[in-house]
Amino acid sequence: MNMGPLQNGQTAVVIGGGPGGTSCAIALRQLARQHNRDINVILFDGKATVGETHYNQCVGVLAPPIDQVLNDIGVPFPHQLVQREIQAYILHGERRQLRLTEQGEVGYAMRRVQFDAYMLQQAREHGVDIRPSRITDLEFLPDRVNVYAEGSNCVAAVVFGAFGLDPGTTTLLAQVTGYRPPRFLTSLVTKIHPPDGVLANFGNNIHAFLPRSPHIEFGAITPKGNHFTVNLAGSTVDSRDMEDFLSYPPLQRVLY
Ligand X SMILES: Cc1cc2nc3c(=O)[nH]c(=O)nc-3n(C[C@H](O)[C@H](O)[C@H](O)COP(=O)(O)OP(=O)(O)OC[C@H]3O[C@@H](n4cnc5c(N)ncnc54)[C@H](O)[C@@H]3O)c2cc1C
Interacting residues with ligand X (CB under 6 A): 15-21, 44-47, 57-62, 134-135, 162-164, 166, 169, 187, 189, 231
In the complex, minimum distance from the CB of residue 181 to ligand X, in angstroms, rounded to a whole number:
12
Contact by Cβ (8 Å): 6, 12: yes
Judged by beta carbon, residue 37 or residue 69, the one nearer ligand X is 69
Q: What count of residues does the chain have?
A: 256
d(CA 138, CA 248) in angstroms, rounded, equals 47
DSSP state of 51: G
Contact 12, 158 (CB under 8 A): yes
Closer Cβ to ligand X, 39 or 86, answer by number: 86
Q: Hey, what's the torsion of the CAs at 87, 219, 53, 227, to 10 degrees? A: -60
Question: For residues 37 and 56, which CB has a smaller minimum distance to ligand X in the complex?
Answer: 56
Q: How many CA atoms lie within 13 A of 47 on its CB side?
A: 17
Sequence-distant (≥ 6) Cβ neighbours of residue 137 within 8 angstroms: 148, 172, 176
Q: Which is nearer to ligand X, 38 or 238 (CB)?
A: 238
Contact between residue 106 and residue 86 where contact means Cβ atoms under 8 Å apart = yes
Least separation in angstroms between CB 90 and ligand X: 15
Q: How far is the CB of 171 from ligand X (least distance, A)?
A: 10
CB-CB contact of 149 with 131 (8 Å): yes
For residues 115 and 248, which CB has a smaller minimum distance to ligand X in the complex?
A: 115
Identify the CA nearest to 23 among candidates 68, 81, 85: 68
CB of 131 to ligand X, least distance (A): 8
Query: Measured from the CB of residue 168, what is the shortest distance to ligand X in angstroms?
Result: 6
State which residue, 163 or 228, has the beta carbon closest to ligand X. 163
Q: How far is the CB of 7 from ligand X (least distance, A)?
A: 26
